[in-house]
Structure 1
């Protein structure tokens, strides 16, 4: 497993706090990594044996090791086993267990842990109130999302821009139902917006929209889901927990559409102009299997298991050996044979 980009808090996990514009191996992992996730300034890995290790910033307990001390090497999340997936928010973390329940830890000022309180926790606590089995979790900046087996979506935490999608602007410390979503198959959270892919390949979005990140042709926030303009055939979406843009993978042809903030070229369309409707990412070398969004940069895993990256590169988060931003994808020479990727605010991870 490798990391690159910002490393102020140790989020690259290489035992240093120095930024790197090339991939660096994560050290001291307890077992082989199966999947990974990234928060604003911290990183998570689900290991063989379905336990979790985290590293990076820990001021709110987002590493889950019982302390509030940053760590530049992986530490084990206390008491977690049977983990199927992990997700990272601005300063909080989620784990989906194999029994369909959710554990959460870290910052909770807006209720993003979903345990009915606003108390931070440096060890996992149960997020409660789901009427059905949870099959996927996602984090925004200060909110959380869960996709249920029924196709419904629930959300909790900050809601000042309507990112919970329940028709209000009220924060919630327990999960609430996103209005009108009954057949979702993927979810993602941005800094203050949320996304859901429906079974028919269309996308709904809700929350903040100042940069056009809802993709509905306006810049108006919305506290209930709205359709992303003229977008079909989508199989996956992502939006960084610190970002105001969105990415969508079109499954039929392996291309990417992007919308929202583009000040660093993170839409990958060859411009730095924001767009409130989807635009095509240019110059992709082959079909895309998976994608990830940071605060202002983007990553794509290609069909040959290599990576392309674009957007902000001031801290080396593109990993191409430079600190030059790019508004079109550039190919990363290493690592190769990637199977999973993730993006934090200004760092990147690959397994």
Structure 2
């Protein structure tokens, strides 16, 4: 998950604007298809930061676009791009995650690479020097997953260990130390049962193989879900449930899904990003009564989730039309994105949102001030438009 400073502070409502969206989508697709220089190859992994987006195509090449002020695109420059540009010559990229203004990716050989903003050591290369091209993180070749936050990064290895690095002012590294920054990976505890991790702005959560959920770091809005507003310097278990299958950290809130298909959120709720009405919550609250959720993604103050029917729903901050409902009205209940039932996933929804479909095509919408939608313009898009790549 990616964050930036504080510019961004899942009860299911049926969208009433499907007809409007269908018209808008048709218009947008017509514009995109008019560009004969672009094609739409399938993607296997996508990551979106505050103002940039990156994707791994099926051929395992890496492409990025959008803001590049701090080198977050990794193309060796600090030049913004409004259409996808290939990053290096490697065709071995496996997965990605984007922080606010940096990006990290794992290759098929298990090595981990990061690039972009490194002011807090979040690139993990032992320095605080910004990088405009991917730099390898340590010498390990057993990285399994990575999550990039605002100023800190966490990752799991194939042996089930968990590692974090970067900014630690709010104990978001989970290492029990008050050290301000750590510029290289440090192991979080001694457990070897970590299955996945998510980094928020100043807090972190992770799921273990037995289905328990753990969080640590800043708790000023209840984002740790442990029932109070006291920060934790080491992982603290969230409740007693052993059915957590996934978790995602937003700016100051967190959402997760359980194996029975229920959806839960907690933390800050100023924009309705918890998918319920009311104020912040310090423990998980169920979003509606449905049991048909397959996955959820949290960004700045917006969240999106996919259903078992392959529908896509978003809620929370809508200031740049990222909920694609034809308005800029914030929503405290999931709002459906069009009528499509072919959505596979969404990616770190913030002021812009991207989602992939079951044919592995990539679609983006919302804020486009930095060209992060990849359509060759900087015009905001009110509905999903397919991303084309250079032929």
In the superposition, the TM-score normalised over structure 2's length comes to 0.81
User: Structure 2 vs 1, CA of residues 219 and 319 (structure 1 numbering), >3 Å: closer, same or farther?
Assistant: farther
Provide the C-alpha distance between the structure 2 equivalents of 1:90 and 1:173, rounded to a whole number of angstroms: 18
Provide the C-alpha distance between the structure 2 equivalents of 1:294 and 1:6, rounded to a whole number of angstroms: 16
Structure 1, 224-233 or 48-57: larger mean CA deviation: 224-233
Aligned counterparts, 1:141-290, within 5 A: 141-216=201-276, 218-240=277-299, 243-251=300-308, 253-282=309-338, 284=340, 287-290=342-345
* Structure 1 residue aligned with 2:120: 60
Aligned counterparts, 1:318-333, within 5 A: 318-333=373-388
* Structure 2 residue aligned with 1:339: none
Q: Is the 8 A contact 2:319 2:330 kept in 1?
A: yes
Name segments (4+ residues, structure 1) moved above 6 Å.
none
* Structure 2 residue aligned with 1:20: 81
Unmatched segments (≥5 aa) in structure 1: 337-351
* Structure 2 residue aligned with 1:303: 358
Provide the C-alpha distance between the structure 2 equivalents of 1:8 and 1:117, rounded to a whole number of angstroms: 32
State the SS of the aligned residue for 1:10: coil
* Structure 2 residue aligned with 1:346: none
> Which residue, 57, 61, 65 being the options, matches 1:4?
65
State the SS of the aligned residue for 2:65: strand
State the SS of the aligned residue for 2:265: strand
Deviation at 1:96, TM superposition (A): 0.5
Deviation at 1:180, TM superposition (A): 4.3
- The structure whose residues are more often helix, as a share, is 2
User: Structure 2 vs 1, CA of residues 25 and 148 (structure 1 numbering), >3 Å: closer, same or farther?
Assistant: same
State the SS of the aligned residue for 1:161: coil
Provide the C-alpha distance between the structure 1 equivalents of 2:194 and 2:206, rounded to a whole number of angstroms: 6
State the SS of the aligned residue for 1:196: strand
Q: Report the number of matched residues.
A: 329
Q: Is the 8 A contact 1:186 1:235 kept in 2?
A: no
> Which residue, 132, 144, 159 being the options, matches 1:72?
132
Provide the C-alpha distance between the structure 1 equivalents of 2:139 and 2:283, rounded to a whole number of angstroms: 36
In the superposition, the TM-score normalised over structure 1's length comes to 0.90
User: Structure 2 vs 1, CA of residues 180 and 310 (structure 1 numbering), >3 Å: closer, same or farther?
Assistant: farther
1:312 aligns with 2:372: no
* Structure 2 residue aligned with 1:341: none
Cα offsets for 1:108-151 (capped at 9, x unmatched): 11111111113211100011265x71111111111111111121
Q: Is the 8 A contact 1:102 1:127 kept in 2?
A: yes
User: Structure 2 vs 1, CA of residues 259 and 28 (structure 1 numbering), >3 Å: closer, same or farther?
Assistant: same
Relative contact order, higher structure (CA 8 A, sep 6+): 2
Structure number with greater Rg is 2
Provide the C-alpha distance between the structure 2 equivalents of 1:310 and 1:273, rounded to a whole number of angstroms: 16
Deviation at 1:311, TM superposition (A): 1.1
> Which residue, 107, 124, 135 being the options, matches 2:185?
124
Unmatched segments (≥5 aa) in structure 2: 1-61
